[in-house]
Chain A
Amino acid sequence: MTDEARPTDEDHGSTAGGGGAASVRDAVFDNPIAGVFDGVEPVPGAAKSDPILVAKDVVRTFGGLTAVAVDHLEIQRGAITALIGPNGAGKTTFFNLLTGFDKPDRGDVSLGGKSINNVASYKLAKQGMVRTFQLTKALSRLTVIENMKLGATGQIGESFWRALITPLWSAQEKDVERRATELLERFNMAHMSDEFAGTMSGGQRKLIEMARALMTDPRIVMLDEPMAGVNPALTQSLLGHVKGLRSEGRTVIFVEHDMDVVRDISDWVVVMAEGAIIAEGTPDDIASNPEVIDAYLGSHHDSDLSEDEEFES
């Protein structure tokens, strides 16, 4: 059963995110990096003032198909960067390459100035890079609070021998539990702590996955289609949480199809098509870029924009 098709989505959404949606929607999020893109030229491969993640000449082929061929990309520290593109543009493959879940044929990726080529995915989480998945990965037969506690890094009790002696890790465990509970409260899910994650609706799973990722205290958060299959009320709540990440000084990269969402929250937009980056710029630059419109060939992108224009006029 897919997340989208779950019939309980609507009713559960109102209990989990609905109440929070209003509070998050009404909150004012200051943008600590406002104006940082002012001098940046909106062209593919543009240099940023303070890049946290840099990809150079990254190529990944599957047999004869070149899935990703990115010449140069810099991600601005502390900003929300959207990665968009038509289906099959290579966005998720590129994500997998950046997060160590797949190896490029060639190319260099560096995080905070340090090369992360050939660094295993689990080590990247310890370096402050965390990701979520397009198909939500709630750990079904763990409770919500266990899902959260799992996210903490550097746990003493995760070593086999030390796990045998409770006093070695019990103090840290209490601290982890306190942090997990705080985060659940922030996501309005504290009342579900002891329920199995598998009983949650699709939208609630997205929330758990994002909250769980925050347990790693990441510098950079990579969200693969965070809004897919989420009802509109919960989308607002999720958007608020993403903006909240920026307020805390974290860098966010997200893949998204919904142009309204992209225009609402992103500071910078990167457009991929056929594996390459064809455009970069602020949401307004991108909306008027003819190459982007060509790439989408008048699919959803167009209709969304026209609806927007009608709405504004």
Chain B
Amino acid sequence: MDWGFIFERTFSAMIGPEVVVFALAAIGLNVHFGYAGLLNFGQVGFMAAGAYGLGMTVHWMGLSFWLGIFMGIGYSVVLALILGLPTLRLRADYLGLVTIASSETIRLFVRWRGNRGRTGASEGIGEFAGAFYDINPFKTGVFYQFGPFKFLGRDLWVLVVGWSLLLLAVLVVWQLMRSPWGRALKAIREDEDAARALGKNAYALKVQALILGGVIGGVAGMLQVVQKASIQPDTFNPVITFLIWTILILGGPGRVWSPVIGSMIYWSLIVFIENVLRGLPDGARDGLESTVELSDFNIGQFRFILVGLGLVLLARYRPQGIFGSREEMALDDR
């Protein structure tokens, strides 16, 4: 087995584009669930809103990429208002219901044939990100190596921008959550009526939190499609939302860094397991093939099974996540 190659791949995956995209989306979800106590089961809907806000501005309206970025943020804000204004006066469950339904509605709507001119329907949108790569300071086709990491110039540009956005998002959330605004938000998570009795406008604060987390999710969606240089409706399926939840729970909700660390652990595990399975000596491969029918074709599924097993063990032995405190979690039960 070529351990050098396996670790090179794993280290690169640890800071790769997927990590950044999912960490950003999880930061948004952390604002919703970890700090405000909002049940959002449709974070992928916000990613789609950001991605299509960008893509439709360029593809359909023929305007510039940079204007598209603002439109992506605008679409995320509008989605947050549509979901939040009617439901946030009600019990927490109602937001959960509309978010899970809306994210699927968005996916089905954009892939509808009647929308071909606007959203590209099931073929999606291809050429929209040129302006982003035109200002790439690195050489597109050249490999850059630093320490254990190795990336193509094109990906390196995405990563530099992505990590900058990620650090900005972490900084904003950190600052907000140490402010009186964040304190009021956490109070609403704990008990909305108590916060209202003390003069906090719980409804307005929850709407603000939904918008903030939604915009961060929208930025994650934009980064994802810019990195792929293509927008495909079916990449915004509900499984993505639950991946984001997995990452957040792995890191521990209500902690500033946990989405980032959760995402790094999740993706490096996925890549590590896949490469180990592919690199197994022939004897071991044959053994696995004859017992659990492991083959080149189902390694992809097999690694998810192993990661799932890991999550079960995490839930059993460290339910508060990597960063969470067990003492704090136990307080929920009272």
**Chain A residues in the interface with B (C-beta under 8 A):** 1, 99, 101, 120-126, 130-133, 137, 139-142, 146, 149-151, 153, 155-160, 163-164, 166, 169, 173, 196, 198-199, 209, 212-213, 215-216
Give a binary string over B152-179; 1 marks a CB under 8 Å from any A CB, 0 the rest: 0000000000000000000010011001
The 10 closest A-B pairs by CB, nearest first: A125-B199, A198-B331, A157-B180, A163-B181, A163-B179, A137-B194, A139-B190, A140-B331, A155-B180, A137-B191
Q: Is B181's CB under 8 angstroms from A158's CB? A: yes
**Chain B residues in the interface with A (C-beta under 8 A):** 172, 175-176, 179-184, 186-187, 189-191, 193-202, 208, 212, 254, 327-328, 331-334
Known: A122-B201, A163-B179. 6 other contacts (CB 8 A): A124-B199, A146-B183, A149-B183, A151-B198, A169-B180, A199-B327
With A133-B194, A196-B327, A199-B331 already in contact, the answer to whether A142 and B183 are too (CB < 8 A) is: yes
Nearest-Cβ distance from residue B13 to partner chain A, whole angstroms: 33
Give the residues in chain B near A120, CB-CB below 8 Å: 196, 201
Q: Is A141's CB under 8 angstroms from B180's CB? A: no
Q: Is B175's CB under 8 angstroms from A164's CB? A: yes
With A1-B334, A163-B175, A196-B331 already in contact, the answer to whether A216 and B194 are too (CB < 8 A) is: no
Q: Is A164's CB under 8 angstroms from B331's CB? A: no
30 A-B residue pairs with CB within 8 Å? A120-B196, A122-B195, A122-B202, A125-B197, A126-B199, A131-B197, A139-B187, A140-B334, A141-B189, A141-B328, A141-B332, A142-B186, A142-B187, A146-B186, A150-B198, A153-B198, A156-B180, A157-B179, A158-B180, A158-B200, A160-B212, A163-B175, A163-B179, A166-B179, A173-B180, A196-B327, A196-B331, A209-B194, A213-B198, A216-B199
Q: Is B198's CB under 8 angstroms from A163's CB? A: no
Q: Is A166's CB under 8 angstroms from B175's CB? A: yes
Give the residues in chain A near B181, CB-CB below 8 Å: 157-160, 163
Give the residues in chain A near B172, CB-CB below 8 Å: 164
Q: Is A196's CB under 8 angstroms from B175's CB? A: no
Nearest-Cβ distance from residue A140 to partner chain B, whole angstroms: 4
Give the residues in chain B near A131, CB-CB below 8 Å: 197
Give the residues in chain B near A146, CB-CB below 8 Å: 183, 186
Nearest-Cβ distance from residue A308 to partner chain B, whole angstroms: 34
With A99-B197, A130-B198, A157-B180 already in contact, the answer to whether A141 and B191 are too (CB < 8 A) is: no
Q: Is B328's CB under 8 angstroms from A130's CB? A: no
Q: Is A137's CB under 8 angstroms from B193's CB? A: yes
Q: Is A164's CB under 8 angstroms from B176's CB? A: yes
Q: In whole angstroms, what is the CA distance A163 to B179 when docked?
A: 6
Q: Is A122's CB under 8 angstroms from B199's CB? A: yes
Q: In whole angstroms, what is the CA distance A99 to B184 when docked?
A: 20
Q: In whole angstroms, what is the CA distance A239 to B132 when docked?
A: 68
Q: Is A212's CB under 8 angstroms from B175's CB? A: no
Q: In whole angstroms, what is the CA distance A140 to B334 when docked?
A: 8
Give the residues in chain B near A163, CB-CB below 8 Å: 175-176, 179-182
Nearest-Cβ distance from residue A206 to partner chain B, whole angstroms: 13
Q: Is B334's CB under 8 angstroms from A153's CB? A: no
Q: In whole angstroms, what is the CA distance A101 to B179 when docked?
A: 27
Q: In whole angstroms, what is the CA distance A173 to B183 when docked?
A: 12
Query: Closest A-chain residue to B211, C-beta based?
Result: A160
Give the residues in chain A near B212, CB-CB below 8 Å: 160
Query: Closest A-chain residue to B212, C-beta based?
Result: A160
Q: In whole angstroms, what is the CA distance A216 to B199 when docked?
A: 8
Query: Closest B-chain residue to A209, C-beta based?
Result: B194
With A122-B200, A125-B199 already in contact, the answer to whether A150 and B187 are too (CB < 8 A) is: yes
Give the residues in chain A near B176, CB-CB below 8 Å: 160, 163-164
Nearest-Cβ distance from residue B103 to partner chain A, whole angstroms: 25
With A141-B186, A142-B190, A196-B327 already in contact, the answer to whether A212 and B180 are too (CB < 8 A) is: no
Q: In whole angstroms, what is the CA distance A213 to B199 when docked?
A: 10
Give the residues in chain A near B201, CB-CB below 8 Å: 120, 122
Give the residues in chain B near A212, CB-CB below 8 Å: 198
Nearest-Cβ distance from residue A153 to partner chain B, whole angstroms: 5
Give the residues in chain A near B195, CB-CB below 8 Å: 122, 139, 150
Q: Is A153's CB under 8 angstroms from B190's CB? A: no
